[in-house]
Structure 1
Amino acid sequence: MTEIYLRQLATMAAIAEEGTFSRAANRLGYTQSSVSQHVAALEKAVGGPVFERPGGPRPVRITPLGAVVLEHGRGLLSKAEALEDAVERFKAGDGRVDIGTLQSVANAILPAVVHRLKEEHPGCEIRLSEKDQEEASIGELDLLFFDGPIDEDTEQVLLLEDPYLVVARPGELPPGPARATSLDGRATVAWPATCDQSRMEQALADAGVLPRIVFRSAGNETILSMVRAGLGLAVLPWLAIHHVVCRTCGDIHGYYAGADLPLQVHELVPAPKREIRLHWPRGHAERSPLTARTIAIAAEVARELAGQLPSSDNPRGTASHLPER
């Protein structure tokens, strides 16, 4: 059975559909003798005739053995076509890419990456999954956005150094940058103490700064709502809040619901930063054009975002307002 070839099965299917060897030959672009040779080779491989040949212009009839061969042969042909299509899509940069992400990356970096990738390759399939902070594993994913190292054999690129900022009710902190020491003992709403959040809190502790955590939540909107309610300050990375409306410019960037109260954002000095990295299995980018292009687009988007980072040269980044809703 190993001597059965796809072209023989394709020839058999064409004969069954056209009814004669000659019409199948015209359809396939073969000579009639080539069609006969394909059928003869197939019959030798399966050990019996697959067609009854009445002769003359009358159509051929498929034998019971031929019916079995044709049923399974069509399945093989369909899989072969799917394989060929997948290979061509792969070479063209289409195909599928599976991406794991963090919440703030999904809000900030990933929408632009997905948009540009779909514009370039409309036929590609993009599958996203939001990873828990404790699940620093790339597993079967093609790419993983994560705010730190992972214990797997991967390649990676540093996309962005994302500074932590202080979010407070108006007047709770003096205008301008906030000293880290001003957080010591202050009621604070925070993310769960995993991954880079724990590293940031440890960095503050090493500097003798111990905020009093009164509530933890993985939801950015929940944290900001609690700050509005007066529960405490929040220390959040820039990516988590950069898209929120700035009251001074009137742009609509945010979606947070809450009381009719703006919130001020202050730079944190000294500024702890988390590193947003993109990981992929070693060698995968060389094997997959779509993965390689996704990495390049992510780097482009990160460079553009880096140009918007708050700094001492950007006063709007030192004390801006979150949306009044």
Structure 2
Amino acid sequence: METHLLRTFVAVASSGSFSAAAADLDYTQSAVSQHIAALESSLGTALLTRRPVAPTPAGERLLEHAGAILLRIEAARADVRRVVGEPPGEIVFATTPLAAATRVARALTQLRQTRPGLAVTFEVARRDEVARGVASGAYHLGLVDGIAAPSDPLRLPDVGLLRTSAVAQEGLAVVVPADHPIAGRKRLGLAALVDARWIDAPAVSAPLDDLRAAVETDSLRAALGYAGADVRTLLELVAAGHGLAVLPASVSVPAGVAKVPVGSPRLVHRVELLHGQLDSAAASALAELLDEG
């Protein structure tokens, strides 16, 4: 199965249009049609219906594999580029919103003091996006965060050769309105809050799916979903009474919000550094600074 044929198939299936895929890939529409015909011929089955353009059952099954295959190929190319060597004087770094912003700022300051000519691009993205970006070579390094059992690593997508190391770990706290009945408690178990109203904000708080798995119940229900990546907005929503959320215990909260440490189940907020071979001297230096905290 040739990679360029698979890439064309994904583009057509995603856009639902041969012409749109041709524009995205900078091909002619005839070339796109030829690619799809060649792929279907090699697999011996139709992968797309034509009117409307949509995956067949066989095409749906191929799509389940295609993303991982193409990502692994990009990861392999990135790994080879790291061995050959990267352009000097540039580093692209990414982090999830809660992945120790103070640590990042301090490390970047130290790095630029020792390498004044270094061009740095710093981005904030979701955990899966950071992992895929590091694997594909879009980012030299990444910091990701999430909740886990104290001795467990974070669950990351299968993106090929990706090195990880823990750089920080701390307890969790439930954030509640200051006048909430549990505000002021020294510690509590999440199982006691199964009937509470929750805000599901997976980019900036513990995702409800993870909390449900930890408490082993489906009773934790979202009263509100927040798809943004700003912690201050989430805390404003908590203060206004829209629901509760679980955050790292060290997060500063404004007036009107209280933190209650989570006693059970045993979970921690974990921050991990992601990287490839680190053949870039600047990337290696930044990795050391981040690891030092």
Task: Give the match for residue 164 of structure 1.
Answer: 172
Q: What one-letter code is carried by the residue in structure 2 that aligns with 1:212? A: R
Task: Give the match for residue 228 of structure 1.
Answer: 239
1:300 aligns with 2:292: yes
Listed one character per residue, the Cα deviations across residues 264-309 of structure 1 (whole Å, up to 9, x for unaligned) are: 111101242243111111x2x2x222111111100111xxxxxxxx
1:132 aligns with 2:110: no
1:188 aligns with 2:184: no
Aligned residues: 189
Task: Give the match for residue 283 of structure 2.
Answer: 291
Identity of paired residues, percent? 17
Contact 1:190 1:236 in 2 (8 A): no
1:121 aligns with 2:115: yes
Give the distance between the partners of 1:195 and 1:225, measured in 2 at CA: 14
In the TM superposition, 1:36-185 aligns within 5 A as 90=88, 95-105=89-99, 107-135=101-129, 136-137=131-132, 138=134, 139-140=136-137, 141-147=139-145, 148=154, 149-151=156-158, 152-172=160-180, 173=182, 174-185=184-195
Change (3 A) 1:199 1:293: farther
- After TM superposition, give the deviation of residue 107 of structure 1 in Å: 3.0
- After TM superposition, give the deviation of residue 164 of structure 1 in Å: 2.5
Contact 1:183 1:209 in 2 (8 A): no
Contact 1:183 1:210 in 2 (8 A): no
Listed one character per residue, the Cα deviations across residues 151-197 of structure 1 (whole Å, up to 9, x for unaligned) are: 22011211122432111122420521122222111001131389962
Give the distance between the partners of 2:262 and 2:199, measured in 1 at CA: 16
Task: Give the match for residue 82 of structure 1.
Answer: none
Give the distance between the partners of 1:110 and 1:194, measured in 2 at CA: 17
Give the distance between the partners of 1:211 and 1:181, measured in 2 at CA: 9
Q: What one-letter code is carried by the residue in structure 1 that aligns with 2:291? A: A
Structure exhibiting the larger radius of gyration computed from Cα positions = 1
Q: Which runs of 4+ in 1 moved over 3 A?
A: 192-196, 202-205
Change (3 A) 1:129 1:273: same
Q: What one-letter code is carried by the residue in structure 1 that aligns with 2:241? A: G
Give ranges in structure 2 of 5+ residues lacking alignment: 1-84, 146-153
Contact 1:166 1:236 in 2 (8 A): yes
Give the distance between the partners of 1:117 and 1:199, measured in 2 at CA: 37
Give the distance between the partners of 2:157 and 2:119, measured in 1 at CA: 26
Q: What one-letter code is carried by the residue in structure 2 that aligns with 1:107? A: A
Q: What one-letter code is carried by the residue in structure 2 that aligns with 1:294? A: L
- After TM superposition, give the deviation of residue 229 of structure 1 in Å: 0.8
Give the distance between the partners of 1:198 and 1:161, measured in 2 at CA: 20
Q: TM-score, normalised by structure 1?
A: 0.52
Give the distance between the partners of 2:190 and 2:166, measured in 1 at CA: 26
Task: Give the match for residue 211 of structure 1.
Answer: 220
Contact 2:205 2:246 in 1 (8 A): no
Q: TM-score, normalised by structure 2?
A: 0.57
Give ranges in structure 1 of 5+ residues lacking alignment: 1-86, 246-260, 302-325
Change (3 A) 1:273 1:199: farther
- After TM superposition, give the deviation of residue 209 of structure 1 in Å: 7.1
Give the distance between the partners of 2:225 and 2:127, measured in 1 at CA: 14
Change (3 A) 1:210 1:272: farther
Q: What one-letter code is carried by the residue in structure 2 that aligns with 1:295? A: A
